[in-house]
Amino acid sequence: MAAGESDYKVGPGKPPLRTRFKKGQSGNPRGRSPKNLAVYVTIDGRRRKITKREAIVTQMVNKSASADLRATKMLIDMLKDVEQTAGVASPPLSPPPFTEADEEVVEQLVERIRHQLLQEIAEGKIADPRK
């Protein structure tokens, strides 16, 4: 034994001196193992590699589409959090008022539909609702 080892007691938290890491040597030279964030899923008959996060969100969207109210609430809450984090403003509760250009487009559309209905009535394709 070496001179320094004779009075050194090995025990909990005190490994033998010869097995300790050398100065400058890392305790984990290969580094941390990578997280396995990929999963394989079958979408439309094709296997795809997606992250676990994408798989979770996809499942939540599918459950929400099938009228699962709990999944819908969780999805909406998640969207609000993402919008808030991204700094995106939530949509206004009421639509903005029509501009002059909007009014003109609506008038043209109404006139076109009115003309088409009168033409179909004249051709006898539909019954005249005024009679």
DSSP reduced 3-state for 119: helix
pLDDT tens-digit readout, 27-42: 777 788 877 778 898 8
Q: How many residues does the chain have?
A: 131
pTM: 0.41
pLDDT tens-digit readout, 79-108: 888 888 888 666 667 888 889 999 999 999
Instruction: List the domain boundaries for the chain.
Output: 37-89
Close Cβ partners of 37 (under 8 Å, ≥ 6 residues apart): 51, 52, 53
* CA distances, 10 to each of 6, 23, 52, 130 (Å): 10, 20, 45, 104
Rounded Cα gap, residues 101 and 111, in angstroms: 15
